[in-house]
Amino acid sequence: MEIVPVKAFKDNYVWTLRNETHAAVVDPGEARPVLDYLASEKLRLAAILATHHHPDHVGGIAELVQKFRVPVFGPRNEPIPALTQPVAEGDRVAIPELGVSFSVLDIPGHTRAHVAYYGAGALFCGDTLFACGCGRLFEGTAEQMFASLSKLAALPDDTKVYCGHEYTLEPENRALSAREARDRKLREAGRPTLPSTLADEKATNPFLRCREPAVVESANKYLGARVADPVRVFAAIRDWKNRF
Ligand SMILES: [Zn+2]
C-alpha cells in the first residue's frame, strides 16, 4: 500500500491510500480531484475516512458516494455527510481491499468529536496536529486539545503524520531551522513536505513542547505574566497564533 497526496483546493491534500486496484481517501473536501485521480489510475474507491465535520474535510463525500457505494467512516457525534460507519475511541477500521486496518483515537479540541486514524505506521489526524502547529479551538477547550496532542505524542516516534501545515515561534530551536531549510528545498522542487514524523514534531512543534523553557518564555511574553503550567502555556500560544 502506498499513500499519495491528491491536491485539492489551493493548498490542501486529500491523503489517498492505494494499491494496484483500490484506493481509500481521508477527508475528501472536494470530489473532483479525487474522481480524476481514480479515473486516471484506474482505481476503485473502497472506503472514505473522515476525521471531523468541517466542509474542507467532508465536502466531497456526497458526490463520491454517488459514484462509489462505499463505507464512510467518521466520528459518531458529528454531522458527517453519508456517514455509514460511526466510530469512536477503541474502534477499528478495516479496509480489506487494501489489507490495512486502523485504530480510532478520540482527539477532541478542534471540534468536539474529532477522531484520528492510526495504523500501518501512519497517523491521519485532520486538523489536530499540524506540521509545526495544531488546529484552532473551535468547539473544544485548551485542556482537551492539550490532552489530545499528548495522546498523539505518545505514539511511536517513527509514526508518519499526515496533516496540514503551519508555522512556528521558537526561533532558537536548531532542529526547527534545519527542518525549515529542508522543507524550503522540497517546496522549491515542487514536492510535498508532508508527511512529517512524530519525532520531527516533538523536536519542532511548539504545541508538543509546552514544557520547554523557550516556549514557556514566549508564552509568558505574550501573556505579560508568568505561567509554567503546560496547559496554560498551550492555551497562550494557541491564542497567540489565532491572531496571525
Ligand atoms: Zn477543521
Residue 167 confidence (pLDDT): 44
- Residue 127 is a catalytic residue: yes
Using the CB atoms, write b or e for 90-123: b if 16+ within 10 Å. ebebebebbebebebbbbbbbbebbbbbbbeebb
User: 189: which 3 cell numbers?
Assistant: 522542487
In the predicted model, what is the mean pLDDT of the chain?
91
How far, in Å, is the centroid of ligand 1 from the Cα of 114?
9
User: 55: which 3 cell numbers?
Assistant: 466542509
Q: 130: helix, coil or strand?
A: strand
Q: What is the pTM of this model?
A: 0.84
Instruction: Label residue 165 by pLDDT band (50, 70, 90).
Output: very low
Residue 8 confidence (pLDDT): 84
Q: Pick the catalytic residue: 22, 52, 53, 114? A: 52
- Residue 57 is a catalytic residue: yes
Residues of the chain with pLDDT > 90: what percent? 71
Chain segment 85-128, per-residue pLDDT in tens: 999 999 999 999 999 999 999 999 999 999 999 999 999 999 99
d(Cα 124, Cα 151) in Å, to the nearest integer? 14
- Residue 110 is a catalytic residue: yes
Q: Which helix (H) or strand (E) holds 83?
A: none
Q: Pick the catalytic residue: 22, 27, 53, 54? A: 54
Q: What is the dihedral of CA 185, 133, 147, 243, to 10 degrees?
A: 180
d(Cα 230, Cα 114) in Å, to the nearest integer? 22
